[in-house]
Amino acid sequence: MSDSKLAGQFFDAAIGLLRQVRDEDAGEIEAAGTLIADTVVDGGRLFAFGAGHSSLAAQDIVYRAGGLALMNLLAVPGVVGVDVMPATLGSALERVDGLASAVLDCSPLRSGDLLVIISLSGRNALPVEMAMKARALGVKVIGVTSVAYATETSSRHVSGTYLKDHCDIVLDSRIPIGDAELTLDSIAAPFAPASTVVTSALLQAVMATAAGALADRGVEPPLLRSGNVDGGHEWNSRVMTEYGDRIFYRR
């Protein structure tokens, strides 16, 4: 099989997943965007968390041109990406009981805030405990996960539950178990993961919905502009000054 045919198959698979999410998650996307808009209007703060490669989608909505300036990254040392050495440490930390509680106890999250938690499998102790603890604090939780994992894997949290069980809104990425879209007889393992593409698109759809919901209420969405266009830095400085008490990535 030619390399170009495999590339085409991956694009087809990713496009198929995007269409499925668009059509089947429409209600949840609208609800999530509305909840974010509600939080902004009510004076709450916005945070996003993801471990390992799930952190890529979280980072994509923080300090992002065209994105909401109020979205902050909730970082857990050692699990934000593959820059930690060894990279396997991040995977190990996701399974540590108590880590999420320690992080939230030291974080600025408070009642009335909103936290987006991204975990493809939703089975590890860290995202499950984080959702449980955040809701106990009065924080609204939007979970982004593949619900299918809960049907074919066992939970790694002492409660036996999954991220999806502790969220105000669940966004199902529809990613199949194992996160690999292609197989080939001459290659032993499945390959070509699509979770980053789909999860990032799903969250950008939510952010777009939130911006529209704010505008519908007569509230100017606190959006950032690209710093690489004329006037971008000045625009962003104004927004960050206006909402400085809710932006933590500048401190």
- Enumerate the β-bridge partners of residue 71: 46
pLDDT at res. 231: 96
Mean pLDDT of the chain: 94
Per-residue pLDDT band for 3 (boundaries 50, 70, 90) equals confident
The model's pLDDT over 89-104, given as tens digits with 9 standing for 90+, comes to: 888 888 888 889 999 9
Q: How far apart are CA 220 and CA 148, in angstroms?
A: 38
Q: Rounded to the nearest 5 degrees, what angle is found at the Cα of 107, between the Cα atoms of 246 and 83?
A: 100
Per-residue pLDDT band for 87 (boundaries 50, 70, 90) equals confident
Dihedral of CA 114/119/121/125: which sign?
negative
pLDDT at res. 2: 64
- Enumerate the β-bridge partners of residue 194: none
Q: Give the rounded percent of residues in the chain with a pLDDT score beyond 70.
A: 99
Q: What is the pLDDT averaged over residues 191-207?
A: 97
Q: What is the pLDDT averaged over residues 237-246?
A: 96
What 3-state class would DSSP assign to 100? helix
* Residue bearing the bigger pLDDT, 194 or 4: 194
Q: What is the pLDDT averaged over residues 18-23?
A: 98
Task: Read off the pTM.
Answer: 0.94
The model's pLDDT over 122-173, given as tens digits with 9 standing for 90+, comes to: 999 999 999 999 999 999 999 999 999 999 999 999 999 999 999 999 999 9
Is residue 195 pLDDT above 90, yes or no?
Answer: yes
Is residue 58 pLDDT above 70, yes or no?
Answer: yes
Per-residue pLDDT band for 46 (boundaries 50, 70, 90) equals very high
Q: How far apart are CA 157 and CA 178, in angstroms?
A: 19
Q: Residue 115 corresponds to which amino acid?
A: L
Is residue 1 pLDDT above 80, yes or no?
Answer: no
